[in-house]
Amino acid sequence: MTSNFPTLVVEDLRTYFYTKAGVVKAVDGISFTVDRGEILGLVGESGSGKTVTGFSIMGLVDPPGRVAGGRILFKGDDIAGLPDDAMRTLRGNRIAMIFQDPMMTLNPVLRIDTQMIEAIKAHNAVSNDEARRRARDILGRVGIPSPDERLKAYPHQFSGGMRQRVSIAIALLNDPDLIVADEPTTALDVTIQGQILYEVQKLCRESRTAMIWITHDLSVIAGLADRISVMYAGRIVESGQVDEVLDRPLHPYTRGLIGSVPSENRRGVPLAQIPGMTPSLLNLPPGCAFRARCPRADNACLTPPEMTLAAPGREVRCFHPHLA
Amino acid sequence: MTVFITRRLLQSCLVIFVMSLIVFFGVNVIGNPIDILINPEADQAEIERAIKALGLDRPIHEQYLVFIQRAFEGDLGRSFVFGEPALKLIMQRMPATLELALCAMLISIVLGIPLGMWAGLKPESAAGKSIMGFSILGFSLPSFWVGIMLIMIFAVMLGVLPSTGRGQTVGLFGLQVSFLTWDGLAHLLLPAVNLALFKLSLVIRLARAGTREVVLQDYVKFARAKGLSPSRIVLVHVMKNIMIPVVTILGLELGSVIAFSVVTETIFAWPGMGKLIIDSINLLDRPVIVAYLLMTVFMFITINLVVDILYSILDPRVRLQDIKG
Ligand SMILES: Nc1ncnc2c1ncn2[C@@H]1O[C@H](COP(=O)(O)OP(=O)(O)O)[C@@H](O)[C@H]1O
Ligand code: SF4
Ligand SMILES: [Mg+2]
């Protein structure tokens, strides 16, 4: 199937949680595109709606939440609101997800082979032997030594880094077109993080898989992604090519995020943290959601800014972007 | 594994020894069996003779030493009433009690786990709420009242099931069992349901609580993200996890089911150990009481050991060495 459609087009996606306290607009009208062999970085502080975005694409938003609007075009077909049966044939098959906490994602009482083979057999009519062989090969590919033996182990017999490799292997089992990686290295130490980043990137480029890499850590995204979208309070506030955004951030929030990343040339200098906290999504003040924390805020910011084209391929949602 | 089992066996011996002391002396301070066993008209000489025959003339610590000595030879004393070895009396009745208890356990598990999981998966549904309501009733209604109601409805009013006895039994590995004949099964049903009711309620709650907790775990969401069918997620991913607490607690409860069967056996005239112990208490048949209590302790200890081993099999994270003895 060599369609001309991009792998994933998200248009004006809205995912709301209808809680007793009110409607939480966790994702409030975001749009982006990822195509074959491309890695999109989705960046933002904790609570900005990144995970909910990932779950929305997977069709895994649980009540009281639901996708309340917008379209999720997977290779041209709208999969938002697809019945669960139909969604299930895509999940883990054409679209896979890697979760944040490797200690929690594998079932503690099932062996690794069980958890891998079931994922293959859910989508392919293959024999157990064949499924096992495939599981073992992929385990080897993600850097697990002696995969034949390790298949028989239980999750608690692996370190955190190794468990995340197993989760990545599971995501790769059915050679998906799209992988949503939700902060897969956040819980790991820096060395292991580096190894995994390198390997995932290699695997992805080789198989031309489209990938959304979710993180709150800009230093992770720099060498990995092609483009990034910066999320704040359920909206995308800036997007563009990764180098351009990191070198010349337009949005005050992006600037703040970059300022809070420790880097070589500023060692010892205190981090320029963004003052204040992510606002409660329950009752966002009118106007720009970043207003309370923004050094550039003025009266214009009392009305909500729209996403505007700042340069070819660069968009920003701000009345006073850092253009110069 | 062997270290663990050896340590546990040593501990068990100690527990049984301490229990034998408590039980033996405890039983000897209540009542006077002679008053019950001997015709009140009997003269003093006859009473003396009876006391001597039963070995009650000697000081209690001597009685205990004799008891222990004989216990090592497999003799837990002779029933005052039947004149037969107490152990033999108990062993004769034990199959009936075990059959009843295991049958009750089976009912609790086979019904309790699916019902509890259903209630846990759909806590807000009418079915989920009814199941919970049922389990609250099962917890709070007194066992003897339920037993009498069961007899009233099924034996008296509908006349479809017998209300007393074991019915026709057949031999299986040298034991007499009811469940292999239709008549026996019919006799087994009401007492087993009666005895199961409390445990069934317990299993429903455990399974429901476990399910509610497990479905929120990341690994269940990850299983969904793999595209597994809901039945595979529930029957493999969820059920395997909730089986750990259910089996552990239920195993430990098996002992109390056997103990509780006293009430059920009395109501349904089920010829098991429970009925024997009630009769023996009424007649102050000390050797039978002592032997019964020691057998019960022995059974509890064995069950606990088996449960711990089972637990380590079910939960790969647990190694036997780590379980506190
Ligand atoms: N089950 C839920 N009920 C209510 N609100 C929720 C729920 N899940 C997420 N949210 C809301 O969505 C927001 C975004 O969450 P999330 O996507 O997990 O953030 P991120 O992954 O960027 O850290 C949270 O701040 C929270 O307010
Ligand atoms: S719109 Fe105003 S408040 Fe919002 S980021 Fe831009 S300058 Fe700051
Ligand atoms: Mg998250």
CB B81 within 8 A of CB B285: yes
Do A7 and A73 meet the contact criterion of CB atoms below 8 Å apart? no
Q: Is the pLDDT of residue B288 over 70?
A: yes
Who wins on pLDDT, A238 or B167? Answer: A238
Please identify which residue in the block is written with the tokens 């004989």: B70
Q: How far is A171 from chain B (nearest CA, A)?
A: 8
Answer yes or no: is pLDDT of B133 > 50.
yes
Q: A90 vs B227: CB contact, 8 Å cut-off?
A: yes
Please state, in angstroms and as integers, the Cα–Cα distance from residue A96 to each residue in A178, A190, A235, B137, B307, following that order: 6, 24, 23, 46, 40
- Name residues contacting ligand 2 (CB within 6 A): A 252, 288, 290-291, 294, 296-297, 301, 305, 318-320
Q: Which residue has the higher pLDDT, B213 or B259?
A: B213
Q: State the residue for tokens 């610590």.
A: B61
Q: How far apart are CA B62 and CA A296, in angstroms?
A: 96
Backbone angles phi, psi at B321, to 5 degrees: -60, -30
Distance CA B116, CA B126 (A): 14
Contact residues, chain B, for A107 at CB < 8 Å: 219, 223, 237, 240-241
Q: What's chain B's average pLDDT?
A: 85
Which pair of tokens denotes residue A211? 């990938």
C-alpha A26 to ligand 1 mean position (Å): 6
Q: Residue A3's pLDDT is what?
A: 62
Q: Find the radius of gyration of the CA atoms of chain A.
A: 20
Chosen from A74, A109, A110 to mutate, greatest number of chain B CBs within 10 A: A109
Mean pLDDT calculated for residue range B304-312: 80
The atom of ligand 2 lying closest to the CA of A296 is 7
Q: Which residue of A has its CA nearest to B226?
A: A92
Please tell me the predicted confidence (pLDDT) of residue A267.
46
Which residues 6+ apart lie within 8 Å of A99 measured at CB? A105, A167, A182, A184, B218, B221, B222, B225
The pLDDT value given to residue B322: 63
CA A117 to ligand 2 center in whole angstroms: 50
Q: What span, in angstroms and rounded, lies between the C-alpha atoms of B152 and B80? A: 36
- CA–CA distance, A42 with A31 (Å, rounded to integer): 11
For residue B325, pLDDT beyond 60: no
Quick one: which atom of ligand 1 is closest to the CA of A26?
12
Determine the average pLDDT of the residues in B115-139: 92
Nearest to A115 by CA among A92, A142, A87, A94: A92
Tell me how far CA of residue B277 lies from CA of A266, B93, B94, B114, B283, in angstroms.
83, 10, 11, 35, 10
Integer Cα distance of B245 and A138 in angstroms: 34
Q: Which residues pair with residue A66 across a beta bridge?
A: A16
Say how far apart CA A310 and CA A301 lie, in whole Å: 18
- Among left, alpha and beta (phi > 0; psi -120 to 50; other), residue A313 is left
ipTM of the complex: 0.90
Q: What is the pLDDT of residues B27-67, one digit of tens each?
A: 877 767 777 777 777 778 878 887 887 777 778 888 888 88
User: Looking at the DSSP assignment, which residues form a beta bridge with residue A30?
Assistant: A13
Atom of ligand 2 nearest to the CA of A319: 1
Cα–ligand 3 centroid distance for A214 (angstroms): 8
Q: Min CA distance, B120 vs chain A (Å)?
A: 16
Residues B226-254 have a mean pLDDT of 90
For residue B220, the Cα-to-chain-centroid distance in whole angstroms is 35
Cβ neighbours for A95, distance < 8 A, ≥ 6 positions apart: A57, A58, A74, A176, A177, A178, A179, A180
Residues of A in contact with B221 (CB under 8 A): 60, 99
CA-nearest of B108, B98, B163 to B139 is B108
Phi then psi for residue B102, to 5 deg, are -65, -40
Nearest CA to ligand 2 atom 4: A288
* Minimum-distance CB partner of B225 among A60, A104, A109: A60
pLDDT in tens, B70-105: 888 878 888 888 888 888 888 888 888 888 999 999
Whether the predicted pLDDT of B198 surpasses 50: yes
What is the β-pairing status of strands A178-182 and A210-215? Answer: parallel
Report the distance separating Cα B85 and Cα B76, nearest Å.
Answer: 7
Residue type for position B202: L
As a whole number of Å, the CA-based R_g of chain B is 24
What is the 8-class DSSP label of residue A306? P
Residue A263: the pLDDT is 54
Contact A99, A184 (CB under 8 A): yes
Strand ranges across the sheet with A227-232: A95-98, A178-182, A210-215, A39-43, A227-232, A235-241, A314-316, A308-311
B246 CA distance to ligand 3 centroid (A)? 33
In total, chain B counts a number of residues equal to 325
Residues of B in contact with A89 (CB under 8 A): 227
Interface contact B240-A104, CB threshold 8 A: no
Q: How far apart are CA A165 and CA A116, in angstroms?
A: 12
Query: What does the alpha-carbon distance between residue B286 and residue B189 come to, in Å, rounded to a whole number?
Result: 33
Question: Where are the domains positioned within chain A?
Answer: 8-82+211-316
Residue B258 has pLDDT above 70, yes or no: yes
Q: What are phi and psi of A215, to 5 degrees?
A: -160, 160
Q: Is the pLDDT of residue B324 over 60?
A: no
Amino acid, res. B157: M
A28: which strand partners? Answer: A14
CA-based nearest residue to B220, from B121, B135, B299: B121
Beta-carbon separation of B218 and A154 below 8 A = no
More confident residue, B323 or B152: B152
Q: How far apart are CA B232 and CA B225, in angstroms?
A: 13
- The alpha carbon of B311 and the centre of ligand 1 are apart by a number of angstroms equal to 37
Query: CATH class for domain A8-82+211-316?
Result: alpha beta
Q: How confident is the model at residue B181 (pLDDT cuts 50, 70, 90)?
A: confident
Q: Which amino acid is at B286?
A: R
pTM assigned to the model:
0.82
How far is residue A76 CA from its own chain's centroid? 20
Contact A264, A270 (CB under 8 A): no
Q: What is the mean pLDDT of each run of 10 residues along chain A (324 residues)?
A: 81 94 92 93 92 95 93 93 91 93 91 94 94 93 89 91 91 93 83 82 86 89 90 94 92 87 50 69 85 89 92 92 81
Q: Please report, rounded to a whole number, the percentage of residues in chain B having pLDDT higher than 90.
A: 25
Each residue's pLDDT tens digit, A259-269: 766 554 444 44
The set of protein residues with a Cβ atom below 6 angstroms from ligand 1 is: A 17, 19, 24, 26, 44, 46-52, 65, 281
Domains of chain B: 2-71 (no CATH), 92-324 (1.10.3720.10)
Instruction: Indicate which atom in ligand 1 lies nearest the CA of residue A280.
Output: 27
Average pLDDT over residues B294-304: 84
Contact A89 B227 (CB under 8 A): yes
pLDDT for the residue numbered A268: 47
Instruction: Give residue A50's identity as a one-letter amino acid code.
Output: K
Say how many Å lie between the CA of residue A99 and the centre of ligand 3.
9
pLDDT at residue A253, rounded to an integer: 92
Torsion angle of the four alpha carbons A246, A251, A253, A256, in this order, in degrees rounded to the nearest 10: 50
Please list, in sequence order, all residues whose beta carbon lies within 8 angstroms of the beta carbon of residue A179, skipping any fewer than 6 positions away: A95, A96, A97, A98, A171, A172, A204, A209, A210, A211, A212
Interchain pair A118, B217: CB under 8 A: no
Residue B48: the pLDDT is 82
Residue A117 in contact with residue A127, Cβ under 8 Å?
A: no
Answer whether A108 sits within 8 Å of B226, measured CB to CB.
no
